[in-house]
Chains A and B, each alone.
Chain A
Amino acid sequence: MNIFRFAGDMTHLISILVLLLKIYATKSCSGISLKTQELYALVFLTRYLDLFTDFISVYNTIMKLVFIASSLAVVCCMRMHRVVRRSYDKDLDTFRHYFLILASFVLALLVNEKFTFQEIFWAFSIYLEALAILPQLVLLQRSGNVDNLTGQYVFFLGAYRAFYILNWIYRYFTEQHFSRWIACVSGLVQTVLYADFFYYYFISWKNNAKMQLPA
């Protein structure tokens, strides 16, 4: 464990806490893409298949449980909660996310560390996570204005993978035979997808104005 990875995990945790705060405090999920939340639940469920077979550390196990539980809780809340689900932007959240699942799975079959059930699903979860934010970014683009908590949620979600890139650089220089090129390339793509969001987020922060995404 190094400071970059720990900062990344904490940033990821903060993004989840901000999302939960937004939904429970405002009793609204407007501006949140249910499809992105579903993709993230799938990412965690397929990535942590080794939850009960490989024990890494208490920290690792607890964080995996928190990520799985929180992503499922958000999906259930957005689907079931009678108050929250009324605020879901159903007609704006129309990204065909099944294509993302299919593309990631096909790529995972072709490019993986080892052609085993667990490794294929691990690669699948890595590729899917890189694309999972797309429905959310499209939804924000369509809805134009971004409320503060949603903006902070997306910002922290993007920032966490940027910390992981620093972590991979650090591990590359400090550990022999460290090669996580599947996660590295995918993490780079993931972070680049946030680039324009980060730009408009920074502009709104500099002008102390409400965040506007160009229509």
Chain B
Amino acid sequence: TEAVRKHDEL
């Protein structure tokens, strides 16, 4: 499943 990627950028 396409886990919603965390936004690791500001």
Contact = CB atoms under 8 A, between A and B. Distances in A.
15 contacts: A5-B9, A47-B7, A50-B6, A54-B6, A56-B6, A56-B8, A60-B8, A64-B10, A67-B10, A113-B4, A116-B4, A119-B4, A164-B9, A167-B9, A180-B9
Contacts of A38: none
* Interface of B (DSSP majority class): loop
B2 to A, nearest CB: 8
B4 to A, nearest CB: 5
A183 interface: yes
Contacts of A5: 9
Interface of A: 5, 9, 12, 47, 50, 54, 56, 60, 63-64, 67, 113-114, 116, 119, 122, 164, 167, 180, 183
